[in-house]
Structure 1
Amino acid sequence: MKRKSLLAGVLAGTLAAALSACGGGSAAAPSSAAPASEASSAAETKSDGKKVGISMPTKSLERWNRDGSYLEKQFQEKGFKTETTYADNKVDQQVKDLEGLIADEVDLLVVAAIDGESLSQVLGDAKDANIPVIAYDRLIRNTDAISYYVSFDNYKVGQLQGQFIIDSLKLDEAGSSTFNMEVTAGDPADNNATFFFNGAMDLLKPYIEKGTIRIPSGQDTFEQCGTKQWDTATAMTRMQNILGSNYSDGTKLDIALCSNDSTALGVTQAIESDYAGDGRPLITGQDCDEANLANIVDGKQTMSVYKAVANEAVATLDLGEAILKGEKPDEKLIVDSNWSFDCAYDTTSYDNGRAVIPSYLLTPVAVTKDNIQKELIDTGYYRMDGAYPKALA
């Protein structure tokens, strides 16, 4: 399969842990979406008829539809059969889905967990059946069944959001000025959510401590700011309550730090309906969902963080293929695969409670109205539909 080189100009970033950097080569061409299906098959000549089971959390969030489509496309084009399930954000359903995939004797599992704490038993069954498991995008905890983890540098995602706030508001030059901020974090069941939160808050903490940033609601811990299942309506209701309790007198809200786009969408809706102050706050996000990109174009949201999930699927394919050949992939996979996108091999940062999981971490990029064309359109992941970007998958 020939894969077109797409992604260029991404921000460089590594964790403070021991990482092996990579770059240069082929990336996924998102020219068309592979149809999501319960069981999809392709020619067997390249893969000896092996089947990959893909377990996604839900179709209700735009990004998981893209992930599922890209993964199917990559594996099918290499001749693998695929069987893909979506669990409607219900843990019990994902367990049943995985039980079904194991019963269908898949050769490899790629799992994006709804709740990283709830799959130990069923993945233990996969291990007993000698089925290797790749934790996809979200770390799965408290199990020794995980072979590898493929994701993005999730701490870097939060850092991009935090640094954007610092730079946009020129906090280092603020003097005695004060900015009011409220924080909306992600799902407590998602291991990534704490990385996003900590990445941003670690950068913003010095400004909070010296009073440049105030949080009028007093809600500044992950436990206070979390949003179950990243739900838009939950984020909206919480922000409406915060606005009613702390901003009804016209107090200005300067910053809404939101960990992802589904929560940012709810926060934006709350601000439009309940905010009594002047102007619009700076609003962060992540995933570059279409509705949020429209809000960025319209000036309602300020930035998002893009994670090129087509490239995540490429890395997962090459990793899965190596595993199924009986290899034990390490940083050499990055060199041999000659990817065009930035990535790092990390063997220290992601401890799931049973082991430190070898991880392949791709690099995210900040997206604003000013660089949508460069980062999303020119790279081929989105097209313009009138005034607004539309995803190609």
Structure 2
Amino acid sequence: MRLRRFSLSALCCFFVFWLAACSSTSSGTDSATAPASSTAASTSSSGGKAEVGVAIFDMSDKFVSYITQGMKVSATKQNVQVSYVDAQNDTATQVKQIQQFISDGVKSIVLIPTDESSADQSIALANKANVPIIVVNRYYKSVDNATSYVGSDSTTAGTMQMEAVAKLLNGKGNIAIMNGEMGTEAQINRTKGNKDIIAKYPNMKVVLEDTANYDRAQGMALMAKWLSSGTTINAVVANNDEMIIGAMLAAQLDNKDKDMIFAGVDATMDALEFVKAGRLQVTVFQNAPEQGSQAIQAAVAAADGQTVQKQIMVPYELVTKDNVEAYIAKWQ
């Protein structure tokens, strides 16, 4: 028994280091769909002054690369020049980038904030300079002071996700919840949606809960820890797909993946392939390209003096093996 556990731990460590080394492909930016630069600004078309400045918390984030793809397509359709900058998850850097956009005279700003502090400061700076600012995907209280917010209702995602899991478990079983970065809107509300549904089923309970920070390698390491505890787990539910993929890989190493239900959120291309193969039972499609597209449309409209909606919500959609082909087609 000790030898088997040691082997599992060793293999998990190997995969964690391998995943970290390969982060540019497994959880990083796809060069075909997102800006290639890290800190330098890039524009969507050659020549001329940027009309819209886009400040992104981390261009290496895979989901963000899909949002950026939608922005680029929308900018091209509207023939608007966009400058993209990467804060590399640093609050001070992002605030300086917002200041630079304002100094450069952009007509509007699109922001995916690093955290609540950067959202607060960036929105305040834009409002003081009378530059419209559109916040995308990451919600904080200060976002209510922005010109508009474009995103999706995270509670709905958690509710849809857990309803599907409850149905697969016939309303009974032990649930392990993998949280994303603690304190983020998605983590709080997706988990709330999960627990709202669990509360309706007397024979379902949360037996394990911890954070893996939206990261595949951390999800794998956390799942290995849970498996080694000996706790019976009937379903693993994660706030995003990257963590649930890590959880599946760890369970596969211990030959436990066939005994559990796995559920994620985002319906990334990687996750959809796992759904198609029957290894991931549930994910919830968050239309990242549409969020990006709507953000650019709102930024252009606001720059032209038009009134834009205070909240622009892009609906979530449940994905299972029955309809996965339609969602794979969306990425092609």
What TM-score, normalized by structure 2, do the two folds share? 0.80
Aligned residues: 298
- CA spacing shift, 1:149–1:234, aligned 2, 3 Å: same
Match of 2:237 among 230, 234, 257: 257
1:226 to 211, 230, 233: 211
- Residue equivalent to 2:327: 375
Listed as ranges, the gaps of 5+ residues in structure 2 are: 1-31
Q: What is residue 388 of structure 1 aligned with on the other side? A: none
Name the amino acid aligned to 2:292.
A
Contact 2:44 2:75 in 1 (8 A): no
The aligned runs of 1:17-96 (5 Å cut-off) are: 33=33, 38-42=41-45, 51-96=51-96
RMSD: 2.6
Using the aligned pairs only, state the percent identity.
21
Output the amino acid matched with 2:198.
L
Correspondence list, 1:25-174, <5 A: 33=33, 38-42=41-45, 51-142=51-142, 145-171=145-171
Matches within 5 A, 1:319-338: 319-330=298-309
User: Equivalent residue for 1:270?
Assistant: 250
Gaps of 5+ in 1: 1-31, 172-177, 220-224, 331-357, 384-393
- The match for 2:194 among 151, 175, 200 is 200
**SS of the residue aligned with 1:120?**
helix
**TM value normalised by structure 1:** 0.69
Call closer, same or farther: CA 1:188–1:34 in 2, change over 3 Å.
closer
Kept in 1: contact 2:269–2:328 (CA 8 A)? no
1:328-367 alignment to 2 at 5 Å? Answer: 328-330=307-309, 358-367=310-319
**CA deviation after TM superposition for structure 1 residue 189, in Å:** 4.1
Give the C-alpha shift of residue 202 in structure 1: 0.6
Preserved CA contact (<8 Å) 2:35 2:59? no
2: distance between equivalents of 1:78 and 1:372?
A: 31
Q: Could you give the per-residue CA deviations for residues 240-288 of structure 1, whole angstroms, max 9, x where no partner exists?
A: 22221233xxx4x21001111111122112212346x583311111122
Distance in 1 between the 2:71 and 2:321 partners? 29
Task: Assess, with a 3 A threshold, how the Cα gap between structure 1 residues 263 and 270 changes in structure 2: closer, same or farther.
Answer: same
User: How far 1:137 moved relative to its partner?
Assistant: 1.1
Q: Which structure has greater helix proportion? A: 2
Deviation at 1:373, TM superposition (A): 1.6
Q: Partner residue of 1:186? A: 180
CA contact (8 A) 2:136 2:292 kept: no
User: Aligned partners of 2:272 and 2:161: how far apart in 1?
Assistant: 16
2:269 corresponds, among 290, 294, 297, to 290
Higher relative contact order (CA 8 A, sep 6+): 1
1:149 partner letter: Y
Tell me what 1:244 maps to.
Answer: 228
Query: What amino acid is the match of 1:39?
Result: S
